[in-house]
A and B are shown apart, each in its own frame.
Chain A
Amino acid sequence: MNEERKLIVSSSPHIRTPRGTQQIMLDVIIALLPALVAAVIFFGVKPLIVTCVSVVSCVVFEFAYRKLLKKNDSYMDLSAVVTGMLLAYCLPYTFPWWAVIIGAFFSIVLVKQLFGGIGKNIWNPALAGRAFLLVSYAVLMTTWSDGPDAATFATPLASLHAGALAPDGLWNMFIGNIGGSFGEVSALALLIGGAWLVYRKVISLRIPVAYIGTVAVLTLIFSRGNNHIMWMLQNLLSGGLLLGAIFMATDYCTSPVTPNGQLIFGVGCGLLTVLIRYFGGYPEGVSFAILIMNCCTWLIDQHTAPRRFGVTKGKKKEEAKG
């Protein structure tokens, strides 16, 4: 009666969600595509080439590093593709391919894999790679155009940094018809991507809303010039704020996991971004703000544990008294 059967005995639960790491990363990649489409519309085919170079080199570095050190393959989780896309998105479309590869190497090998790979790195690989390229190739990183007016081409952010409203119209800034890193320019495309991530429950609204909200409030209160609202809106739409708030600050690995921690993280990013934009040497503060907050992730998590079930605040106090 008892036939020979190979049965697996394991601890419960015996079912798992179909959504694994790969599916989540795929959702992020899908969310990043509208921004690429917008970049191609405004800058031609070059952004596409930069993105391809970046993605391919990131995946190759990820694969090669793990092969060389005889670790299990991790390129199939697609996280290297996401890093590659994000790294490319914060570069100007004029950026030379060889420098992209150097940036990818820094991101994947030094920032991500040396710390143990996915889930263990301290800084966002793409942002750290961008920061590295910014200090190494400052001129290349701020060459926003390859046209004849390259020298005088200014991004809205540069105007804001100088203390004046940008001449570009709000609509142009919203759809992305402005100068800047090609993945950052189109607020519309980034918001569509963000909506996809929230709809698919890849990210919660906590970090982006806290981040963007903080920047909005601060720039409204401490606005320069007479048009306060305009100053705030231009600050929100310029530079890498939306890309940073939606895609970079929400990076799982380098942001807090507790709900309250995520709010604090977002507010911290917003605060630092405005501080750097107002008082820093660089016009842009997003990448450094997020990188600094990345360092605080562990600390924030430690102090924002969710309330223990069955213990309310009032009760705790009572207990302490009694």
Chain B
Amino acid sequence: MLFKSHGGVHPNDKKAPANEAVITTIPQPPEVVIPMSQHIGAPCTPLVAVGDEVKLGQKIGEAKAPVSAPIHASVSGKVTAIAPHLNNLGNMVTSVVIENDFKDTPAETMVPATEEDLQSPEKIADIVREAGIVGMGGATFPTAFKITSGWGKVDTVLINGAECEPYITSDHRTMLEHPDELLKGIQLLMKACKVDKAYFGIELNKKFAIDLLNFKGAKEMGIEIVPLKCQYPQGAEKTLIKTITGREVPPGGLPANVGCTVFNTFTAYSVYRACYEGWPAIERVVTVSGSAIADPKNVKVRVGTSMQWVFEQTGGFAKEPWKIIMGGPMMGMAQYDLEVPCGKGTASLLAFSDDEDRTVADPVCIRCGQCIDGCPMNLQPIYMYMYQQKGDVEMLQKLNITDCVECGSCSYICPGRLHLTHAFKTGKAMVQAHMAELKAKAEAEKAKTEAEAPKAEAPKAEAPKAEAKPEAPKAEAAKAEAKPAAPAKEEKKEDK
């Protein structure tokens, strides 16, 4: 059974250098910098103060909001500073700096859950939340919230093992080296989601992993391994759901709208570690690769380790890099400071020294239409780009720019080397700003008319004249309000 998704591109997967490299451990850094926000949602508040002694796995950041995840110490030692530090998104984020005592004294909380606890979905969700587990593929959405918000809606659990981004092999190595743990983690996720069927989508360039997981009895556990055609972005959430189940998540909707929920491979493995070993999310397997890297590897990295340390401990650069990327080459973030710490969702560190991005001085569209063929969301990048350059927000909305998942396929395939994805990121921001403006305008108009209402009533003779004027803008505002309201209604319908 072979599944292919619509659209997509076929970049050289470049996985060969790191594919055979067994996951190794690198020496711990003398100091870790742990950002208090490593997830989508509210940042955490530090639970420790400067000078405190912390143990390995001790909770140091408390998550108060429902969409959030607590943060744990990734080494034992002493807190030397709590200050803003540059993170992978280029923001300054409050971070806890811990001086490593190299003892790895475990915290009392690091104990495996009892078999009894692991029978209850609520308990598993609790453990997952307390372990600070987030979507490890890079999106870093809090996993516990994903589980609990899906109750009653989700009938299928999908595990994303596509690893469709070139270079990255960390999930592949995890599948090969920890198959039993991984399958147990998936079983836990199924139980937590109150579902007894899971699909594990794996791209065909990981044939050994597919065979191994089947051999380990995935089928008997209710986990169906689904071989996927190698094609980017096979592992994009909506694309994966479409290829495996045939369901399409509606625009602006969530996977739960079509009864699905998707977890990354490493998330499932982390769930296993949290439940059976008591380990919170403080370690991630990271692929270090790229043309500038002397010796591509897969290494276990503690959260908060600087990129500089990881590069140094893995053999450093063979050639002078001009670009460092945290994450995959298609959606990862380019970094300018190697002091940025690795986080929970860091699947790879790449360093480029060749002409990978093939930028040209004057990009020209030749109207080849390959961006349309390559778009997994059925958009028309060629026209979206045109209107984005003109700043025509209304046409951008008409072309559904907000459906764009920023996968980068259009930019990748463009022979004219246009910066399409970049234009759509700014285009989406333009649309958002426009919507906010309209909303503010409408509200101001509403407040104005409400304030004027008693005045207009008093002098009755003047009423028709006075009313005629605010009428027109009111109608416009009403129209503007009706537009954004429509998709919201849609979502609600699906929810029910």
Task: Kindly provide the distance from the CB of B340 to the nearest chain A CB, expressed in whole angstroms.
Answer: 11
Interface bin, chain B = 35 or more
Assuming the contacts A8-B323, A17-B413, A258-B372, asked whether A309 and B366 have C-beta atoms less than 8 A apart, the reply is: no
A8–B367 contact, CB under 8 A? no
B403–A309 contact, CB under 8 A? yes
Q: Is residue B313 within 8 Å, beta carbon to beta carbon, of the partner chain?
A: no
Q: Is residue B189 within 8 Å, beta carbon to beta carbon, of the partner chain?
A: no
Question: Which residues on B sit within 8 Å (CB–CB) of A14?
Answer: 323, 325, 329-330, 332, 334, 350, 352, 356-357
Most buried by A among B248, B369, B400: B369
Assuming the contacts A12-B330, A253-B366, asked whether A306 and B11 have C-beta atoms less than 8 A apart, the reply is: no
Report the bound CA distance from A10 to B423 in whole Å: 12
B336–A9 contact, CB under 8 A? yes
Beta-carbon contacts under 8 Å, A95-127 to B: 117-119
Beta-carbon contacts under 8 Å, B401-417 to A: 403, 406, 408, 411-417
A77-95: contact bitstring with B at CB < 8 Å (1 yes, 0 no)? 1010000000000000000
Interface bin, chain A = 35 or more
B366–A252 contact, CB under 8 A? yes
Task: Kindly provide the distance from the CB of B171 to the nearest chain A CB, expressed in whole angstroms.
Answer: 19
Q: Is residue B450 within 8 Å, beta carbon to beta carbon, of the partner chain?
A: no
Task: Kindly provide the distance from the CB of A81 to the nearest chain B CB, expressed in whole angstroms.
Answer: 14
Q: Is residue B217 within 8 Å, beta carbon to beta carbon, of the partner chain?
A: no
Task: Kindly provide the distance from the CB of A71 to the nearest chain B CB, expressed in whole angstroms.
Answer: 9
A253–B367 contact, CB under 8 A? yes
Report the bound CA distance from A259 to B372 in whole Å: 9
- Chain A interface helix/strand/loop/mixed: loop
Report the bound CA distance from A210 to B411 in whole Å: 29
Of B11, B166, B366, the residue contacting A119 (CB under 8 A) is B366
Report the bound CA distance from A15 to B417 in whole Å: 11
Task: Kindly provide the distance from the CB of A260 to the nearest chain B CB, expressed in whole angstroms.
Answer: 11
Assuming the contacts A253-B366, A310-B250, asked whether A13 and B416 have C-beta atoms less than 8 A apart, the reply is: no
Report the bound CA distance from A6 to B250 in whole Å: 43
Question: Which residues on B sit within 8 Å (CB–CB) of A23?
Answer: 415
Report the bound CA distance from A317 to B482 in whole Å: 19
Question: Which residues on A sit within 8 Å (CB–CB) of B446?
Answer: none
Question: Which residues on B sit within 8 Å (CB–CB) of A305?
Answer: 380, 399
B308–A2 contact, CB under 8 A? yes
A-B contact pairs, 16 of them (CB 8 A): A9-B90, A11-B419, A11-B421, A12-B331, A14-B330, A14-B334, A16-B356, A74-B364, A77-B364, A119-B364, A252-B367, A257-B372, A258-B372, A259-B373, A309-B242, A311-B251
> Top 10 nearest A-B pairs by Cβ distance?
A13-B408, A257-B369, A11-B422, A310-B250, A306-B378, A310-B248, A13-B330, A9-B334, A15-B329, A16-B358
